[in-house]
Amino acid sequence: MNIFLLQTSGGGGIGPLIFLPLMILVFWLFFIRPQAKKAKSQKNFVANLQKGDKIVTIAGIHGTINKVNEDGTINLETSPGSYIKIEKSAISMDWTNQLNKVGTTPEKK
């Protein structure tokens, strides 16, 4: 009879108990929290849109807001006298901010 087969490993200890919460914390810090902050800033950005703002849609359409509708849509003037109706959620915050940042900075010579 082999006595070594009856013995159990005494390893483990507290290591795995610390490792799992640490992994959850790292996942939350690097993935969930930044995504939630970006979603909140996107929501604020869309809520503050006004007539006359220059925007870019997620499809790359550039235009100026002509009217903000109550149903969550806007009328976008893409060229003088040409209007399209789009959802507010189709506006790219990053591209719009980049467009407006480029338009306000002086040109370098």
Query: 92 and 44, same structural domain?
Result: no
What average pLDDT does range 1-12 have in this prediction? 54
Q: Could you list the residue range(s) of the whole structural domain that residue 69 is in? A: 50-109
- Chain segment 47-83, per-residue pLDDT in tens: 999 999 999 999 999 999 999 999 989 999 999 999 9
pLDDT of residue 10: 54
Q: For the chain, how many structural domains are there in total? A: 2
What average pLDDT does range 81-96 have in this prediction? 93
User: What one-character-per-residue DSSP string does 32-66 give?
Assistant: IHHHHHHHHHHHHHHHT--TT-EEEBTT--EEEEE
Query: 73 and 22, same structural domain?
Result: no
Decide if 1 is inside a domain: no
Decide if 54 is inside a domain: yes
Output the average pLDDT for the chain.
Answer: 84
What average pLDDT does range 89-108 have in this prediction? 79
pLDDT of residue 1: 53
Query: 66 and 44, same structural domain?
Result: no
Three-state secondary structure call for residue 94: helix
Enumerate the β-bridge partners of residue 55. 63
Query: 30 and 64, same structural domain?
Result: no
Query: 42 and 92, same structural domain?
Result: no
Decide if 2 is inside a domain: no
In this prediction the pTM is: 0.66
